Structure 1
C-alpha cells in the first residue's frame, strides 16, 4: 500500500529536486567497466574552491559539476578522455544516444584520432527500447539507490542525503556492487 503524496520539510527546494547524471561504460557482454562520470547540479558549472578541497573522489568516479546536473559538450569531452579512453584499445565499437552533444563525430575523432573505432548512434526516440543501459543497467542502479535510501530512512540513520559526498559515495558503492562478477 502506498501513498499519493509524501510531505517533507527541507531547507531548500533544491534538496528534493537535485538533478544529476550518471554516465557509466559497459562492455558488449553488459559488464560495468572501470570508472563512471557523475555530474552533480551546482549553482555554477564547477565546484567552489572549498568544496573541491573537501571533496573525496572514489577511484571509480569522475565527479563534475554543472548548473543543470546534466551533461554538456565540455562534460562529454571529459567523459571521453577520463572515463572511456583508459578503457578502450585501438579498435572498439561505441554506441551512443542521438543527442547532439554525444553524437559529434568531429569531437569523437579528435579524442580518438588513431583508433580504428566505430561509432554507432541510436535513432531518436529509441532510448527506452534498445539502449542496453536504459533497459537493464539503470533499472538495477535505481533499485540499489532506492534500497540504500530506504535502509537509511527505516533505520533512522543520521545522514544528510542531499550532501555531495554522500551522493558520490552512494553511487560509487552502487557501481562497485554492479561491477562485481
Structure 2
C-alpha cells in the first residue's frame, strides 16, 4: 500500500479524528439502536474480473491467463450497497454502468435485465455523480431508513449533508455523518471488510464460468447486472449477517465480536455439491437461502 508523506505526517491527527468519529457513531447507536445506523459507499469493478492465479510450470518466465475480453479488464462500473449496523444488507443495490452517451437508449432500456434488488443508472464514466447520489438517497436510502436514522458516508463532496438538505425526507429525521478524509480504510465498515468478500465472490464465480466454458460473456451489460444481482441476493441471506456485523465490529462501532461465519465464497462456491439438485447437471453454486446445490440454468 502506498501512502503520501502528508499521510505519514498527519497520522496521529488522523487516528484522533477516527477515534472521535467512532465515538460519535457509537453514541448514535446507543440512542437509536444498530438497526437505524447505516453505512454506504461506492466501489469500482472491472467489467471482467478474475482471481489472478493460474497453473504454470515452475520457473516459467511468462504466464498467460485467460480472459474473455482484454478491454473489459480496464473498463469499470460502480456499485453502492447500503448496510446497517445490525448486519443487514439493504435492497436495492445501486449499479452505475459506463455508457458512451451517459444514458440508456430506448432499445437498451427495453432489453436490459431488471430485478427487484438492483437499481441501475448510467454515466459516461461509470462512476456516481452528485445528481445520482440524490436519486440514490431518495430511491434506496429513504425507503429503508427508520423514522430517526443516521447515515455514515465518506467525505466525497457529492454526497454531503448539504446536498440532501432539499430532499423531501417524508418527515423522517436523518442525520448524515461524514467520515474524516483519510480514515475510511480503518473505520468505514464497507471498506474494512464487506467489499473484500464481495469482490472475491465475483472473481471466484467468474473463474468458474471460464473453467466450465459456459457461453456467458461476463462483460456484457445484462450479465454484469445478473451477476451483481446474484451476489447481492446471496449476501442478503441471514446466513451472512455476522459478516456484515463483523465489519462494524472491526471498525470499532460495536462492542461484541459476532460469532464466526462461513464466507459466501466458502459456503456458496467451495462447499457446493457436484450435481444440481434439480437436473443432475454440474452444480456451480450452493444457494445461501435454500442450501441446494444448483447448476447455472436453475440458479
Give the equivalent residue in structure 1 for 2:17. none
Give the equivalent residue in structure 2 for 1:91. 148
Unaligned runs of 5+ in 1: none
Give the equivalent residue in structure 2 for 1:129. 186
Matched pairs, number:
178
Q: After TM superposition, give the deviation of residue 175 of structure 1 in Å.
A: 0.5
Q: After TM superposition, give the deviation of residue 7 of structure 1 in Å.
A: 6.7
The 3-state SS of whatever aligns with 1:52 is helix
Q: Give the whole-Å Cα distance in 2 for the aligned partners of 1:8 and 1:27.
A: 36
Cα distance change of structure 1 residues 96 and 4 upon mapping to structure 2, 3 Å threshold: farther
Q: Give the whole-Å Cα distance in 2 for the aligned partners of 1:26 and 1:9.
A: 33
Cα distance change of structure 1 residues 166 and 108 upon mapping to structure 2, 3 Å threshold: same
Q: 2:204 aligns with which of 126, 147, 151?
A: 147
Q: Give the whole-Å Cα distance in 1 for the aligned partners of 2:153 and 2:64.
A: 36
Q: Give the whole-Å Cα distance in 2 for the aligned partners of 1:169 and 1:8.
A: 19
C-alpha root-mean-square deviation of aligned residues, in Å? 1.9
Unaligned runs of 5+ in 2: 1-52, 55-61, 239-299
Q: After TM superposition, give the deviation of residue 4 of structure 1 in Å.
A: 6.1
The 3-state SS of whatever aligns with 2:158 is coil
Give the equivalent residue in structure 2 for 1:159. 216
User: Structure 1 residue 46 and structure 2 residue 103: aligned?
Assistant: yes
Q: Give the whole-Å Cα distance in 1 for the aligned partners of 2:63 and 2:182.
A: 30
Give the equivalent residue in structure 1 for 2:288. none
TM (norm. structure 1) is: 0.90
Q: After TM superposition, give the deviation of residue 118 of structure 1 in Å.
A: 1.2
TM (norm. structure 2) is: 0.56
Q: After TM superposition, give the deviation of residue 127 of structure 1 in Å.
A: 1.9
Give the equivalent residue in structure 2 for 1:110. 166
Higher Rg: 2
Q: Give the whole-Å Cα distance in 1 for the aligned partners of 2:64 and 2:129.
A: 33
Cα distance change of structure 1 residues 124 and 4 upon mapping to structure 2, 3 Å threshold: farther
User: Structure 1 residue 79 and structure 2 residue 143: aligned?
Assistant: no
Cα distance change of structure 1 residues 137 and 9 upon mapping to structure 2, 3 Å threshold: closer
Q: After TM superposition, give the deviation of residue 9 of structure 1 in Å.
A: 7.1
Cα distance change of structure 1 residues 124 and 5 upon mapping to structure 2, 3 Å threshold: farther
Cα distance change of structure 1 residues 143 and 8 upon mapping to structure 2, 3 Å threshold: closer
Cα distance change of structure 1 residues 131 and 89 upon mapping to structure 2, 3 Å threshold: same
